[in-house]
Chains A and B, each alone.
Chain A
Amino acid sequence: MNEENEELRKFTDKPGGENDELGAIDRYLKSVRIEQPSANFTQHVMSNLHRASAAALGLPSRNKMLMLAGILVTIGIAILLLAGGAFESVTTITVDQEILPNNQIREYIPTIPFNGKLVINIVILMNLALAFMILDRAVLKPWFERRRHA
């Protein structure tokens, strides 16, 4: 790869390039030097490091904690409703009445049984999985990271 570096550098080192434009571009690009930021650059970064320090300490972010709390509250409410029997009855979804006129479709379209209890149980399980992932990323991982560096 060093040979390739040299090869490309030699190519761009051709005096004047293949035409005037290339020559001008080569001369300009070779004249470009490292730019320097303002004098208080370092000071500014150092004074903002406290922001980074808080993150490095692994303090869980407010948004993640709020999200976790929200999910746990949702799970709690769903469990309470479930325990209270709010989803005991099996509902059916009927599609062959009113929506579709009978003279167009001759065949009977069956009703779809809708088990609310099962759906809520699935939602609770999915929320639990999500809550565990957030707990892991927002609390557990930073906590173990902090312990490792302590």
Chain B
Amino acid sequence: MTDENSLIDRIIAGEQQLYAELINRYKGYAFTIALKILQNRPEAEEAAQDAFIKAFQSLAKFNREAKFSTWLYRIAFNTAISYKRKSKNIFQSIEDVHAGQHQEGEGKVEHDDKKRFIEQALSRLSDADRLAVNLFYLQEFSLEEIADITGMQANTVKVRVHRARQRLAEELKSILQKEALTL
């Protein structure tokens, strides 16, 4: 924490190149947060990059009482939400199509189908619910941290995670029923 604070001080003082260290440290989570909201890799990457630039711009205003990571993830969350509002177009990236094609034909069709159905059910959740559930299951975040990132109360996060799980189960059930009918 102290190391991080001194690093931030040096960046603010003008050692701009040190910011790369912070990017490398947190890019995975920032990108994952954006991806869970946008559900599109190129867009998520752009949003995550934008979040890091915004964080750099506001670095001097960063309140040291909070964790830098939580503050950054909040920026990533808000940036991803605004990206989603800007472009409501849902498109599947070429990368994702390729990934799907590679997985098929490996004798894992059933497993992949289930995964696809769960992802479909997840996409029906609200952005905040989907992110809260994903962050919670990543085991790295406490309810308080998830609350800070998403701008909710910790108790609300707890209720949301619980309800989102139930809703996911219901959605999955209805998807599976529809699939069974089309067979």
Contact = CB atoms under 8 A, between A and B. Distances in A.
Interface of A: 1-2, 4-5, 8-9, 11-12, 17, 19, 21-22, 24-26, 28-30, 32, 34-38, 41-42, 44-46, 48-49, 51-53, 55-56, 145, 149
Interface in B28-55: 28-29, 31-32, 35, 44-45, 48-49, 52-54
Contacts of B168: 21-22, 25
B152 interface: no
Interface residue tally of chain B, by bracket? 35 or more
B97 interface: no
B27 A35 contact: no
B20 A42 contact: yes
Given A22-B166, A37-B31, 11 more contacts: A8-B162, A11-B162, A25-B121, A25-B172, A28-B118, A34-B28, A36-B28, A36-B31, A42-B23, A52-B54, A55-B57
Contact of A1 (B27, B31, B52, B154): B154
Contacts of A29: 133-134, 137
B175 to A, nearest CB: 10
A38 B139 CA distance: 24
A1 B48 contact: no
Contacts of A35: 28, 31-32, 35, 44
A116 B41 CA distance: 59
Interface centre among A8, A21, A26, A49 (most CB of B within 10 A): A21
* Most chain B CB within a 10 A radius of its CB, from A17, A24, A25, A26: A25
B92 interface: no
A41 B23 contact: yes
Interface of B: 12, 16-17, 19-20, 23-24, 27-29, 31-32, 35, 44-45, 48-49, 52-54, 56-57, 59-60, 114-115, 118, 121, 133-134, 136-139, 142-144, 154-155, 158, 161-162, 165-166, 168-170, 172-173, 176
A42 to B, nearest CB: 5
A132 to B, nearest CB: 23
Contacts of A52: 53-54, 56-57
A4 B45 contact: no
Contact of A24 (B23, B48, B60, B114): B114
B115 A28 contact: yes
Given A5-B142, A30-B137, A32-B138, A45 B52 contact: yes
Contact of A37 (B48, B60, B139, B166): B48
Contacts of A4: 143, 154-155, 158
Given A1-B143, A37-B48, A49 B56 contact: yes
A25 B118 contact: yes
Contacts of B44: 35, 37
